Structure 1
Amino acid sequence: MSDWTTRPICAFDLETTGRDPLSARIVTACVVTVDDGAPVARNWILDPGVDIPGDAAAIHGISTAWAREHGRDYVEGYREIRAALADAWNAGYAVVAFNAAYDLTVLDAEARRLGLPPLDDYGLVLDPYVIDREVDRYRRGKRTLGALCEHYGVDLGAAHEAQSDALAAAELARLLPRRFPELARLDDIMASQASWHAARQHDLLEYLQRVGRDASDVDGRWPIRTAA
């Protein structure tokens, strides 16, 4: 069995101001370690310094007024989130993030915007979104976190609440190699996930171009995309 399947897990999730990871700012974050005992979670609410659009607030429940009143200083909070992930990687944890190319790209893009070091020192990342789409590629239906939790019998709890989403992603990361034993035989799960994601995005690009739809947001890089 490959080492990655038995690594302790540090699950990670962000809720943000928007869908574009290259411009979104962090509103809430959770970094939770999942070992043999009870999960240990750290949570942040940040003041992003900009208005939180109504559609984003409707998803995660944090309004501009609430973030301004209760949110931490943005740069201070950002540094703490980065440090928590760096500590996890340095301690040998696998960092689990559902659709990691979004959350980790937000962290990287915000570092560049703030004049801080880019997120180029990451370690092992496990992305249940990418893994599920590869190992059960012909299953019909949505591939959202909620849909995967329903399919695999995982309790999501409060959807779009950072800690609930992170814990659900952690459970999926443990469950998938048990459900699909061929995953445990992969020696380089990082390279595999990057290859799977690139192939899926390439197929999506070809489809969108074929039907005449906008494909400008399609990006095959994983786990971090950067501005062109």
Structure 2
Amino acid sequence: MSPWYTGRLAGFDLETTGVDVETDRIVTACVVQCGGKHPTRSATWLADPGVEIPEDAAKVHGITTQKARAEGRPAAEVVAEVTAALVEAAEVGVPIVAMNAAFDFTILDRECARYGVTSLWAQAVPLVLDPRVLDKHLDPYRRGGRKLTDLCRHYKVALDSAHSADADALAACRVAWRIGSTLPDVGRLPLDELHELQVKWAAQQAASLAAHFRRTPGKEDQADGVRTEWPLIPAPREGGDR
């Protein structure tokens, strides 16, 4: 069987109104399929999230409330179409590449619940590649940041228009390809095995971060907010329990 990095990859990225997976909304989205000796195929969406886009978020991705209302499509339609594009990839075994996957998949899951769309996870069993989780496992002691721009610099991947969903989705695929093609211990693993390993690695990385917060003066209260689940954070149970 050919290594996974020689086949098709589906990049997935969202830009949102904020970083709270339970309350924030999708503003832009991209699902791009690339590699596998086939042309790159990209779909992008601009949604009207139905809420104000905070100024800080607009500074990151460039979409203001006014622009989203004037040019964006209804959020329910966008959520349904993004989910359908991911289901299409998952059903044929194309791995979905998402940087910091637990954020994007959880935001999408909550948007599905908000608009009555059947979630990705109820329709398919996606295999996920998260460049952030892979990189932190492979090179845990490297100094510096682990954002997409940092990984692109480290793995010598071009990133134009950072924080636009289409550029970020494609760059994440290129980082994943670079990891797989240059590090055979990862590149030769079957996708289902690599997915399950990332579940374990992500939990270990989150536990390490929480421990770091607990022993860092002034950051102790951040430890309880660190989630260990990957690539999807379960929805809160009624009553607010997680």
Q: TM-score, normalised by structure 2?
A: 0.89
TM-superposition CA deviations, 1:121-140 (whole Å, max 9, x none): 33111111110010011110
1:206 CA drift (Å): 1.7
Closer/same/farther in 2, CA of residues 113 and 216 from structure 1, 3 Å limit: farther
Residue 214 (structure 1) aligns with: 222
Pairs within 5 Å for 1:171-186: 171-186=174-189
User: 1:133 aligns to what SS in structure 2?
Assistant: helix
**Higher mean displacement: 133-142 or 20-29:** 20-29
Gaps in structure 2 of 5+ consecutive residues:
237-241
Q: Using the alignment, how far apart are the partners of 2:136 and 2:222 within structure 1?
A: 23
Q: What CA distance in whole angstroms lies between the structure 2 residues aligned with 1:11 and 1:76? A: 20
Give the superposition deviation at 1:77.
1.2
Confirm or deny that 1:151 pairs with 2:158. Answer: no
Alignment pair present for 1:131 and 2:134: yes
Aligned to 1:142: 145
Shift of 1:2: 6.9
Look up the match of 2:82.
Answer: 81
Asked if 1:200 is matched to 2:208, the reply is no
Deviation track 1:98-146 (CA, whole Å, cap 9, x = no partner) reads 1111100111111122233333233111111110010011110000000
Among 166, 173, 176, the alignment partner of 1:170 is 173
Distance (Å, rounded) in 1 between the aligned partners of 2:187 and 2:84: 29
117-126 vs 55-64, greater mean Cα deviation: 117-126
- Partner of 1:224: helix, strand, or coil? coil
The runs of at least 4 consecutive aligned structure 1 residues that moved more than 4 Å come to none
User: How high is the TM-score relative to the length of structure 1?
Assistant: 0.95
CA pair 147-34 structure 1, distance change in 2 beyond 3 A: same
How far apart are residue 210 of structure 1 and its match? 2.5
Contact 1:2-1:186 within 8 A present in 2 as well:
no
Indicate if the aligned counterparts of 1:15 and 1:26 stay in contact, CA closer than 8 A: yes
Letter in 1 for 2:31: V
Partner of 1:17: 17
Where in structure 1 are there 5+ consecutive unaligned residues? none
- The 8 Å contact of residues 22 and 106 in structure 1, kept in 2 or not, is answered as yes
Please identify, of 114-123 and 6-15, the stretch whose mean Cα deviation from structure 2 is larger.
Answer: 114-123
Shift of 1:93: 1.0
Percent identical among aligned pairs is 43
User: Alignment partner of 1:215: what SS?
Assistant: helix
Aligned residues: 228
Q: CA deviation at 1:52?
A: 0.3
Deviation at 1:3, TM superposition (A): 4.8
Mapped partners of 2:4, 2:229: distance in 1:
21
Which amino acid in the other structure matches residue 137 of structure 1?
P
